Amino acid sequence: MKKIKYLILGLMGLVAFSCTEDEATEIQPEGNPVLEIDDQFANVHFGDDLPFTATVSDQTPLSTLTAVLYFGEEEVSRTEIRTKENGEYSGTIHVPFEQNIPDGTATLEFELVNTTLNSVTQTFDVPVTRAEYPYLILVTEDGSYPMVPTGESNEYAATEAFPSTDLSAYIKTPVVDDKGNEMVFGWDAGEITKGSTDYIPFVSPVSGTYSVTFNTLNYEAGPFFEILFNGQKMNMIDKENYQIDVDLTQGQEIQIEGLGNLDQWWIDADYLDQQEVGMYNFVPIDGKYRVTANLSMNYFKAEALDGNSPASLNEDGTGAIWVIGTDVGKPSVDGNEVGWNPDNALCMAPVGNKQYQLTVVAGESIRASEINFKFFHQKGWGGEFTNESISTESDIIFIGNGENDRDPGNLGLVSELEAGATYVLVVDLSAGNDQAVLTVTRQ
């Protein structure tokens, strides 16, 4: 018992010694920082570099002056100045210009800290508004045009006899005062973005005189083509491509509006069963799909999704199968061959019961004389179907084994296809992903 008692007392002594040692190394706050800042913060706009001047002093050496701007409780900007000695210091803090942030009151907080970490703070309420510009500037490849206020809040327009219905341009603001900055708005990732000078692909439905509009609050602009997919507006990716991610059910009726030449579009029978021009039934199974309307090729491309990304093949045989290789392409192999570029991969239509379908026309979407493509588990390199995981009894298409003039899994023709004939390729995974069966039917 005595040994235990002495052990406990010893440990208590060590703890007491440790605490005393820590306390001895702590910095004790000293001094009395003094911070004087005049309220200089009037007529502040989003996008400004807001100037400030501070007078600081302390009998203890100073360390830093920090200015922090808050929108609500969120810190949006920060400036730090080293304050080596007493005196006057000047700086700026940036007021962000962002989409859909309404006029309001920001909080600007200043903190002065000395070398012992003693500090003082001063806080200001700063009303911030979106500038009412006298004009914006529409910058095109060939010149520039003034955009004047329309009378609608934050909206500006240039109305001109533009040289074409296609108008590539970006937009910039003037500098309204000595603390303001020029802002530019261009195209990035399929939308108008501040800070970009990449051209926005405006497209007018009429030629001659028309208006180009832009709203500095919500970045809404026009004119663009408006394509509606079952009443939902497709998003413009560029002047040739519109896109929408949408949940669809097998057999669902689909209406497409906004394209005056829809009767000239190539309709992919694997995904859309046309009832009449503009009205279709959806062919694949229920799921989320990405539909892209390509205006240059008059073609609706569809891809199965998993969340917001292209779907891959799951272990249970559900998901997606992709086609990569030469001598195949939609709407035509000559105009849009897939090739060995995974970005161009074709998504086979999942039609149910772990079956995936690709319909092609010889001499149009598949070459009649030769083919060399294969099936993949994803839209990219990785899992693929070789001759060890897929077989066929077709007398139209054979599967390469590395010794029959095709790499393992690559497809070849038994004999030349009949030009103009339709062929349906179906990959069946009902027996498992490693026992896939390819059937080929001439319609």
- Region 180-187: mean pLDDT is 97
pLDDT one-digit tens code per residue, 389-436: 999 999 999 999 999 999 999 999 999 999 999 999 999 999 999 999
Average pLDDT over residues 179-201: 95
Query: Token pair of 336, please?
Result: 């849009």
Give me 390's structure tokens. 């897929």
Q: Is the pLDDT of residue 70 over 70?
A: yes
Residue pLDDT, tens place only, 225-282: 889 999 999 998 888 899 999 999 999 999 999 888 899 999 999 999 999 999 999 9
Q: Which two tokens stand for residue 50?
A: 């807001």
Q: Which residue has the higher pLDDT, 24 or 139?
A: 139
> What are the pLDDT digits (tens) for 117-138?
999 999 999 999 999 999 999 9
Task: Specify the pLDDT at position 25.
Answer: 54
Q: What span, in angstroms and rounded, lies between the C-alpha atoms of 13 and 375?
A: 74
* Percent of the chain at pLDDT exceeding 90: 86
Catalogue all structural domains in the chain, each as residue range(s) with its CATH number: 34-129 (2.60.40.1940), 136-222 (no CATH), 228-442 (2.60.40.3620)
- For residues 173 and 148, give the distance between their C-alpha atoms in angstroms, rounded to a whole number: 11
Q: Give yes or no for residue 171 having a pLDDT over 50.
A: yes
Compute the 3-state secondary structure of the chain and give helix, strand, coil in percent, each to the nearest 5: 10, 50, 45
Is residue 6 predicted with pLDDT exceeding 50?
A: no
Average the pLDDT over each of 19-33, 120-134, 177-191, 369-383 and give the range with the smallest value.
19-33
Quick count: other Cβ atoms within 10 Å of Cβ 6? 10
Whether pLDDT at 190 is above 90: no
If you average pLDDT over residues 289-311, what whole number do you get? 97
Mean pLDDT value across residues 32-36: 96
Distance CA 422, CA 443 (A): 5
Nearest one of 66, 65, 62, 64 to 85, comparing CA atoms: 62
Q: What is the DSSP letter of 316?
A: T
Q: Provide the whole-model pTM.
A: 0.72
**Cα distance between residue 294 and residue 405, in whole Å:** 36
Q: Which of 224, 199, 194, 190 is nearest to 140 (CA)?
A: 199
pLDDT digits (tens, 9 = 90+) for 38-68: 888 999 999 999 999 999 999 999 999 999 9
